[in-house]
Amino acid sequence: MNKIFYEHLQEIIGTERCFLQENMGRHTTFGVGGPADYYVRPRRSDAAQVLSLCRTYGIPCLVIGNGSNLLVGDQGIRGLVMELGREAAQITVEGRVVKAQAGALLSAVARTAANYSLAGMEFASGIPGTIGGAVVMNAGAYGGEMKHIVRKAIVLTKDGDEIGLSKEELDLGYRHSCIPEQEYIVLEAELALEHGDPGKIQERMAELRRQRREKQPLEYGSAGSTFKRPEGYFAGKLIQDAGLRGYRVGDAQVSEKHCGFVINRGQATASDIIQLIRDVQEQVKAKFGVHLETEVRILGEF
C-alpha cells in the first residue's frame, strides 16, 4: 500500500468511502472476484480529483458501476477501483429530458421517467445496471437500446477534462460506444424521452418484468447475457444446440433456463466461470464455426 496516496484519497472523498483490499465479490452480480488494492466511492464532483491523484502516483484506475456486467479474477485487481454508484446517482427531469448521473440505476431512472409520464425508457427498467455502464456498452433489451434515447453524455477525459458528447459523437452501436477506446469516464447522461400515457408505461414495465422472471435465471448470480449476439445467430440457441444446456465447471453452469446465461450456483470461482466460458466458445466454434464474443467484461488477475 502507498500510504501517502491513500491518505490523499481519504482527504478528497472521506475515510468512510475509501477501502483497502476490498473483496470485489461484494460488488459484482456474479458474486466472485478477489480484492482490489484500493476501492473508492466518490461523488460525481470528486471523480476528476481521484483520477488526477491516480495519474500523479502512477496507480491504475478502473471505473465500475453496479458490477452487473463484470467478471473479476480470483486474484483481484491491482490498482484502484472507482465505483460511480449511489454517491453519484442524482436524477433530474426538465420537460422531456431526464438527466441522470452515472451511478443512477436504470431501474430508478425508468421509474422516475414513468412518474413524469415519459415513455421510451421502459426497455431498460429491468436491466440491473447503471446509466454510466449502459452508455458505455449501449445497453439494450426487448427491442430498445440506449442509442434510441441518449441525447448527450458528459464524460471525463483521461486528462481530467469534462466534455460533452452528442449521440453521434458517442458512436453508439451494438454493445459499443467510443468510451472505452477513448478511455473516457461517463459522469452523466441526458435522455430525450416522449410524453406518454402513464398507465401504458407502467403496464409495459410490468410486462417486461414478468418476461424477465419467466425467461431469465434471476435466482442465481450472473452477469446477464454472457455472450454478444453473433451476426445471423442467437448465442443461447447455438449453446443449446451444441448440447451445453446445464454444462458445469465446478459451481459455474450454463443456465438450464436460458442458455445465454452463465450462472453461479453459489460457490463458483472466477476461474470456474472463465473456464466454462472458454469451453462453450470452443465447442460452439467446433460445431458451428461461430466464435462467441463475450459481452461480460473480464477484469483483474486470474
End of a domain among 200, 225, 252?
A: 200
End of a domain among 62, 86, 110?
A: 86
Does the residue 257 lie in any domain? Answer: yes
Does the residue 211 lie in any domain? Answer: no
Dump pLDDT digits (tens) for 1-17: 899 999 999 999 999 99
Does the residue 256 lie in any domain? Answer: yes
Dump pLDDT digits (tens) for 181-214: 999 999 999 999 999 999 999 999 999 999 999 9
Does the residue 278 lie in any domain? Answer: yes
| Residues with catalytic roles | 175, 225, 295
Span 239-246, average pLDDT: 98
The Cα-based distances of 120 to 112, 188, 191, 224 in angstroms read 12, 18, 9, 22
CATH number of the structural domain spanning residue 101? 3.30.465.10
Q: For the whole prediction, is pTM greater than 0.85?
A: yes
Shared domain for 67 and 104, answered yes or no, is no
Shared domain for 277 and 289, answered yes or no, is yes
Shared domain for 26 and 96, answered yes or no, is no
Span 211-225, average pLDDT: 94
Binning pLDDT at 50, 70 and 90, where does residue 84 land? Answer: very high
End of a domain among 157, 173, 200?
A: 200
Does the residue 209 lie in any domain? Answer: no
Shared domain for 82 and 104, answered yes or no, is no
Span 277-300, average pLDDT: 97
Shared domain for 257 and 281, answered yes or no, is yes
How confident is the prediction for the chain on average, in pLDDT?
97
> Which has the closest alpha carbon to 179: 157, 159, 194, 198?
157
CATH number of the structural domain spanning residue 82? 3.30.43.10
Span 79-104, average pLDDT: 97
Dump pLDDT digits (tens) for 129-182: 999 999 999 999 999 999 999 999 999 999 999 999 999 999 999 999 999 999
What percent of the chain has pLDDT above 90? 99
Number of domains in the chain: 3
Query: What radius of gyration do the chain's Cα atoms show?
Result: 19
Shared domain for 232 and 275, answered yes or no, is yes
Q: Is 265 helix (H, G, I), strand (E, B) or coil?
A: coil
Does the residue 208 lie in any domain? Answer: no
Shared domain for 271 and 175, answered yes or no, is no
Is 71 in contact with 273 (CB distance < 8 Å)? yes
Task: Give the Cα separation of 300 and 129 in Å (integer).
Answer: 20
Q: What range does the domain containing 16 cover?
A: 3-86
Shared domain for 95 and 149, answered yes or no, is yes
Shared domain for 129 and 229, answered yes or no, is no
Binning pLDDT at 50, 70 and 90, where does residue 284 land? Answer: very high
C-alpha cell at 223: 452477469
Dump pLDDT digits (tens) for 53-64: 999 999 999 999
Does the residue 97 lie in any domain? Answer: yes
CATH number of the structural domain spanning residue 264? 3.90.78.10
Shared domain for 250 and 176, answered yes or no, is no
Would you tell me how many other CB atoms lie within 10 Å of the CB of residue 275? 15
Shared domain for 179 and 138, answered yes or no, is yes
Shared domain for 194 and 93, answered yes or no, is yes
Per-position b or e across 199-237, b if 16+ CB within 10 A of its CB: eebbebbeebeeebeeebbbebbbbbbbbbbeeeeebbe
Does the residue 205 lie in any domain? Answer: no
